[in-house]
Amino acid sequence: MAKILISPSKYLQGAGEMKNIGTYAAKCGKKALVLISQGGYRRIGAMIEESFAGSDCNVVFDYFNGECCESEINRLVAIVKEKGCDLVIGVGGGKIFDTAKAVAYYAEKPVFICPTIASTDAPCSALSVVYTEEGVFERYLFLPANPNLVLMDTDIIVKSPVRLTVAGMGDALATYFEARAGGKTTEAAMALAKLCFDTLMEEGVKAKIALEAGVCTPAVEKVIEANTLLSGIGFESAGLAGAHAIHNGFTVLEECHHMYHGEKVAFGTLTQLVLENVPLDELEDIILWCIEVGLPVTLAELGAGNVTDDQLMEVAKTACAETDTLHNMPFEVTP
């Protein structure tokens, strides 16, 4: 089997970089569709408009409907064609990125990803996770290319809720363990996945403390990179396994819909480690780290403390779906 390493064409991380988005866009197109939430537009819409005002690229804004689903993707593809846009820019969080990437793929346009949070490893990937309109996992859309640009403005990310960056740590936590379980990767991708894990262990708690104080320290910078770039390249070049499949299982429980992607992935990581029967001290180290940064380690903390065995079996069946990544584990896993 061939081994690969894939990454975005360009990754930019620094304070105030969103003020330059219009300049970067002008190098790639003449009219950009910016997909953003209404709240995101209230917070930074003026900054984006000002950046485009000083560039040779026009901008069209459209508000995200809240779910990366077929109907939303189709709606936005039609707008790209109707408005004559030649660039798609997703500004916000994971579902906006996945939608923007899917829209750009179907419309055959380049795509920029501009996170306002560091909550997932979605920004760098050539993958969109498509859900139903009700938020239940439906399918993976594998894309032929990674984003043309990923731009991380640390000034903006530091102002986001701390829980979101912690959720990003939960998503990134899975990277090394899923890569290790799959075992079909380049040495470079495995090294990035291991660096991602080591960074979380060394810097995660310090970064959380700094974020709670509203400051961007070297620990925060390193965790933003781990959550986004290291985890993004690591998971995509080394593959997913148990943790993300178990996350997908939890999407069938309405009780868990209020939890963030990375929070459910962190719980899935613990479940994968138990399935692998890792040494107890390794498992305890990860559990204690999760507790210290504030990631869920019990069903009750996921909001599922009162679910029935039948409901949990539905989670297990969904996690073990024929098309999901639990089958990348080095042994058979059944519901």
Cite the active site residues. 171, 244, 247, 261
List Cα–Cα distances, 119 to 29, 56, 67, 94, 226, in angstroms.
28, 32, 16, 8, 11
A 10 A CB-CB count for 245 gives: 26
* Pairing state between β 111-115 and 149-153: parallel
Amino acid present at 70: E
Cα(244)–Cα(34) distance, integer angstroms: 29
DSSP-assigned letters across all residues of 301-327: GGT-TT--HHHHHHHHHHHT-TTSGGG
Contacts 24+ apart (CB under 8 A), 220-225: 220/154, 220/158, 221/13, 221/154, 223/118, 223/165, 223/168, 223/169, 223/199, 224/13, 224/118, 224/152, 224/154, 224/157, 224/165, 225/13, 225/199
